[in-house]
Structures are given as C-alpha cells and as structure tokens.
C-alpha cells in the first residue's frame, strides 16, 4: 500500500489537503424533515462524521480493507456513505452491503489520530439499517434464527444435549467430511463448525464466600454463550475471585446483556435486555460488576448512552456502567494475594477486539499472565487484525470470516507458542476452528486454547494445563 493511495479521496480527490471532504454542517442535516437513508431517531452523528480528516491511518487495521482493498469497505469509505445518507442519498442494497461487511472490530478507533468515534457511528447506522432496510427473506430467516437462540441462555443450554450427541457419536465430523451442509447452507455449516467441544455443566451458586478476609463484594455476569458453552471459564472466574478475597454474587435471574443485539443494530431489543440486566443487579449490593466476555463488557460499559433516553433507567444505567470491569481490570485493581504456582508454558496472547479496541484493556491481561512464574508470553504478528469472529459476523459472513481466521491462525503458529490465550468466547470458538484447520493442512497437532482466567486459575490452584492444551 503506497502513501499516495492512503491519502486518496473516495472520489479521486486529495483527502488530506484543503477542506475536509467528509465535513458536515449539523445545521444542514438536523432539525426538520429528513430525506435520504436515515430516520430522525439517532441518525449517524453529523459532527462525528465531520471529525474524520480522511488521512487513511485506519486502512491497514481494517480487516475488510486488508482483504479486499476496496475504499467503501474501509472505515473512511463507510463514513463517506453515512455522509451521503445524511445528505439525501437513499439506503440502497449496495450501501447496506458495505455497512454489513464491517466487523465492528474498532481497530480503526485505536488507529485514528483524530479520535473519530467510528464505534458510535457504525452502531447508529446499523440501527437505522435494521429499521429502514428491507432484507431478503433468507437473510431475515437467518437473523431471526440467530436472535431467537444466542441471546437466550436457557435455549442455548437446551442445545447442549443434541450437540453433545453429535460430538460423542462423531456425526459432526462425518457431516463436515461430506461437505453437503457447506454447499446447501454455508451459514448453518459455519455455526456447526464453530461449536466448541462441550464439557460438563458447572452452575454457580448465587453467593460464593471469599477465602480469608473479604476485600470486595462483586457481582458476576454469567453470559449467554459463555455460560452455556464455556462454563469452565465462569467457574474459573469465580474461583479466582474467591481466592483473591472477593464475595461473589451471581444473580440467578440475569439474562443477556444485549451486546449481540446492539452490535447488530437491533436497538430496541438490546435496550430491553440491558434494562433487565440492570434490574437483576439492582439489589445485589455489589461494589463492582465483573465480566469475563469482551463483547459483553464493552456494551455494559456503554449502558449510560444506550439507556440515556429512558428517565426511569438513565441514572441507574450510568451507575451500572461505572461499576462494570473486565475480570483483568478488577484483579489488577485488587492486587495479587493468592500464591501463583509456576506454569512452564509458552503462550500467545490474542487481543479480543472488544477488549483491546473498544475498552482499551490491553496491558492488564498481559500483566496478569506475566506474573505467573515460568510462563513465557509471545506477541502475535498483525495482532490488531480481527480474527473474524465479531459477534455473529462469522455466521452471517462465513467466507471472509474464515479468511481472517486462517490469517490469524497462520500468524499464531509463527509464534511457536504451545497455548493460545484470549478473553472472549467468540474468539475462542473462531480461533479454535481456524487452528484446527491450520493443523490439518500442515499435519501438526492443533494448539490448545484457553481463556486468560483459566490460565490464572490453573496457576493459583496448582492445576495442570493438560485439559486446556487438548481443547
């Protein structure tokens, strides 16, 4: 990629000199009847669009631009389309296709020297798309299936039974070998391939008492996918918090945090989930709310903005968001008390996008891991590029998601690590699948996968890493 290409405007004009081609006067597009792509309810913010100076620093970090080199599939290209929509351009299938292609990884937010809030802009835009664009019947059906299942913990738990039968009998592997599902329904095939190997359920009690002197009372989010498919992560989280002197409260009526819905533009659904979760923790009497899923944490920290229009919830949502912490943040805030036993292992740490880019949490998990005696941490080349999970992106867009997953797996393999560690269930599923493909293609044993908290739990309790290495 040349410097000249980075500085090229979407319509062929220089984008780094003279007037900002993306600048929008809010007075021109706000307050009054609106023509064009967007309705009056929170359209893409004209002032935020105007912050983009079109410099191109976002391009090398954008997964879809890296894959395709298409301007309109870059952050600044999508911002240009938002500007066009505000100025009267209709919401076409082509425009929506470019918005849908975005993973929402927020790597561009980290890279941007002008502080453009692309994360806010793409969420505002996706909510507009869901309200104002007529999707195809097939797309509607797929999205309906996804959102009738994934944000509902009880329904996900019911899926464990049939899935375990498939895995124990080997029918899942036999079905993949035929390639039939890939040809007939690639999105459903992607969903099946991503399913993790299931262990035993590990339900948590409502109250877990701290070991030794209590240092803090925390509430814990169980999560949807995390709770159903990675119960060991939640159990490890509770054990580590307990060992570090925390009373842990696990409200039994908690449900989905709304992250998947919000990130997909299903605003009203996401708001409803958020309100219910705020209600679940209202009387818990906790000082912090701990999250071990990057996507969930990023949305929960934004509840103040999400629920700002509801006077009954605005203040409560703000208080909730201010208490919310990723598990790595709270453990560093407390400082170590439990003894760390040595783990002689070399790991590669993968930054989950909604932890590193959306929440700015990068150093904390690395600090927790490097405190473990004997552990060696390796950084992954192109670490800022998304693995392709991105919530439900790898189901809706299995082709590009697999390309990104394979790229990530190849870069992980270059580290020579024995174990890949990350902090999000979506990344665990996506990267595990990609690492298995990489191992099959190269005739090697697949690398193990673990959540950050599972490694710390193994160190604190002196447990072997063998179970994680075989995942």
Angle at 29 between CA 23 and CA 30, to 5 degrees: 120
Phi, psi (degrees; rounded to nearest 5) at 45: -65, 120
H helices present in 75-230, as ranges: 75-86, 93-101, 107-111, 118-132, 137-149, 153-169, 171-178, 180-184, 186-194, 225-229
* Interacting residues of 383 by C-beta distance below 8 A, sequence separation 6+: 350, 351, 411
Task: Say whether pLDDT at 275 is over 50.
Answer: yes
Which CATH class name applies to 3-132? mainly alpha
For the CA atoms of 97, 103, 107, 108, what is the dihedral angle to 10 degrees? 10
Helix (H) or strand (E) holding 346: strand 345-349
Dihedral of CA 259/264/267/272: which sign?
negative
* The domains spanning 207-332 and 340-469 adopt the same CATH topology: yes
Among residues 52, 187, 66, which one has the least CA distance to residue 122? 52
Among residues 54, 51, 49, 45, which one has the least CA distance to residue 18? 54
Band of the pLDDT at 159, cuts 50, 70, 90? confident
Q: 207-332 maps to which CATH number?
A: 3.40.50
CATH 3.40.50.11810 fits 340-469, yes or no: yes
Among residues 424, 393, 418, 400, which one has the least CA distance to residue 471? 418
Distance in Å from the first CA to the final CA of the chain: 38
Q: Is 427 helix (H, G, I), strand (E, B) or coil?
A: helix
Identify the pLDDT of residue 294.
96
Tokens of 454: 């599972």
The number of CA neighbours under 13 Å toward the Cβ of 249 is 17
Task: Select the highest-mean-pLDDT range: 198-207, 408-417, 441-450.
Answer: 408-417
Band of the pLDDT at 186, cuts 50, 70, 90? confident
Q: In this predicted model, which residue has the larger pLDDT, 3 or 172? A: 172
Give the tens place of pLDDT for each residue, 364-379.
999 999 999 999 999 9
What angle, rounded to 10 degrees, do the helices at 425-442 and 398-414 form?
70
Band of the pLDDT at 183, cuts 50, 70, 90? confident
Give the tens place of pLDDT for each residue, 44-88.
999 999 999 999 999 999 999 999 999 999 999 999 999 999 999
- Residue listed under structure tokens 């103040």: 304
Tokens of 10: 């979407």
Band of the pLDDT at 467, cuts 50, 70, 90? low
The structural domains of the chain, with segments of one domain joined by +, span: 3-132, 137-194, 207-332, 340-469
Band of the pLDDT at 160, cuts 50, 70, 90? confident
* Interacting residues of 313 by C-beta distance below 8 A, sequence separation 6+: 275, 278, 307
């Amino acid at each position: 990629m040349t410097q000249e290409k980075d500085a090229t405007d979407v319509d062929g004009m220089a984008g780094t000199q003279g007037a900002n081609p993306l600048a929008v006067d809010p007075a021109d597009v706000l307050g009054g009847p609106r023509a064009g792509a967007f309705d009056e309810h929170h359209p893409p913010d004209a002032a935020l669009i105007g912050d983009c100076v079109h410099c191109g620093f976002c391009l090398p970090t954008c997964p879809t631009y890296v894959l395709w080199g298409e301007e309109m599939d870059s952050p600044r290209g999508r911002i240009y389309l938002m500007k066009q929509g505000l100025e009267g351009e209709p919401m076409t299938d082509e425009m929506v296709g470019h918005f849908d292609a975005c993973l929402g990884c927020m790597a561009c937010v980290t890279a941007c020297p002008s502080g453009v809030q692309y994360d806010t802009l793409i969420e505002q835009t996706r909510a507009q798309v869901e309200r104002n664009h007529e999707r195809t019947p097939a797309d509607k059906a797929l999205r309906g299936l996804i959102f009738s299942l994934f944000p509902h913990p009880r329904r996900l738990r019911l899926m464990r039974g049939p899935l375990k039968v498939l895995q124990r009998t080997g029918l899942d592997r036999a079905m993949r070998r035929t390639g039939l599902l890939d040809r007939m329904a690639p999105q459903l095939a992607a969903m099946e391939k991503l399913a993790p190997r299931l262990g035993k359920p590990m339900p948590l009690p409502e109250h877990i008492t701290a070991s030794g002197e209590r240092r803090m009372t925390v509430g814990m989010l169980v999560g949807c996918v995390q709770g159903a498919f990675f119960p060991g992560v939640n159990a490890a989280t509770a054990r580590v918090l307990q060992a570090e002197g925390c009373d842990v409260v696990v409200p039994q009526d908690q449900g989905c945090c709304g992250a998947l819905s919000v990130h997909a533009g299903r605003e009203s659904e996401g708001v409803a989930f958020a309100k219910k979760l705020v209600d679940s923790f209202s009387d818990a009497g906790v000082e912090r709310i701990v999250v071990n899923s990057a996507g969930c944490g990023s949305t929960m920290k934004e509840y103040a903005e999400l629920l700002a229009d509801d006077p009954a919830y605005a203040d409560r949502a703000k208080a909730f968001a201010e208490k919310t912490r990723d598990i790595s943040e709270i453990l560093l805030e407390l400082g170590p008390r439990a003894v760390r036993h040595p783990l002689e292992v070399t790991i590669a740490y993968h930054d989950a996008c909604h932890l590193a880019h959306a929440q700015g949490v990068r150093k904390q998990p690395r600090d927790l891991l490097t405190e473990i005696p004997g552990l060696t941490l390796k950084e992954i080349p192109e670490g800022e590029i998304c693995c392709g999970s991105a919530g439900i992106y790898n189901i809706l867009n299995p082709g590009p998601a697999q390309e990104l997953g394979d790229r990530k797996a190849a870069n992980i393999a270059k580290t020579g690590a024995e174990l890949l560690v990350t902090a999000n269930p979506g990344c665990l599923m996506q990267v595990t699948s990609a690492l298995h493909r990489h191992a099959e293609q190269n005739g090697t044993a697949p690398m193990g996968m673990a959540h950050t908290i599972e490694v710390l739990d193994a160190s604190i309790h002196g447990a072997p890493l063998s179970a994680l290495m075989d995942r």
